[in-house]
Amino acid sequence: MSSPKANDSAPGAGTIGVLALQGGVFEHLDHLRRLGIEARAVKQEADFAGLAGLIMPGGESTCLSRLLKIFGLDAVILRRYREGMKLWGTCAGAILLAAALKGEQPHLGLIDIEVERNGFGSQLDSFCCEALVPKVSPEPLPLTFIRAPKILRAGKGVEVLLQIDDFIAAAETPDILVTAFHPELTGSLAFHRYFARKCGLQPLAEENLDPSWDRTSWMRLAKI
């Protein structure tokens, strides 16, 4: 059963948060703001007020899971999810959301997928490629895998958005999106646009977007 819709009248209901404990935070904020979506870093319980969605970014999943417990934010995420907040986990974020981890205990366990951490090997086995994800964009999208997990299995109620060879790279339920790769590290806004719409928000039309993105654009936000 899908969780209830977010309350559009709540403060910040048109906002997407990015979990800012560790990992690639500013890159996600930069992409959302290019789409005209109100976005903010989320570090404490008060930051969750009225969020339509939360991005759980890439980073180090063991570190992130410990910090979530230390600051009590794991319980906040679970509660806000039940209240209607949408979730998107990229790389480590997908690991945290998975119901099953190969050889390990799961963390939040909110989407019925099985994930293998470091599925491709070490940092040296990171890679880039392109793939068509028809539900997200009519054009092939650039994908960046950094010490990435593999999604080995998707259970009932989980739609596979992208499968490459023997692993799933992107999947979703009505309330959760997971990607094994890092859309925030490319110039493409397609996945961020897709998630914004999943949250009930309306991003800017393509012709109104700021075209000046480069690999260091996010650094201006790190000074905020």
The string of pLDDT tens digits covering residues 89-128 is: 999 999 999 999 998 999 999 999 999 987 675 565 576 8
Name the one residue in this structure whose structure tokens are 């974020």: 93
Whether the per-residue pLDDT at 69 is higher than 90: the answer is yes
Asked if 133 and 162 touch (Cβ cutoff 8 Å), the reply is yes
Task: Judge whether residue 2 has pLDDT over 80.
Answer: no
Q: Check residue 34 and give its pLDDT.
A: 92
Asked if residue 46 lies in contact with residue 9, where contact means CB atoms within 8 angstroms, the answer is: no
What pLDDT score was predicted for residue 1? Answer: 30
Report CA-CA distances (Å) from 112 to 13, 38, 135, 146, 170. 27, 30, 20, 23, 13
Query: Which amino acid is located at 67 in the chain?
Result: L
Give yes or no for residue 6 having a pLDDT over 50: no
Instruction: Give 18's strand partners.
Output: 41, 55
Please tell me the pTM assigned to this model.
0.87
The helix-helix angle for 73-82 and 61-70 (nearest 10°) equals 90
The per-residue pLDDT for 217 is 63
Overall fold of domain 15-223? Rossmann fold (3.40.50)
Coil, strand or helix: which one is 79?
helix
Residues marked as catalytic: 91, 182, 184
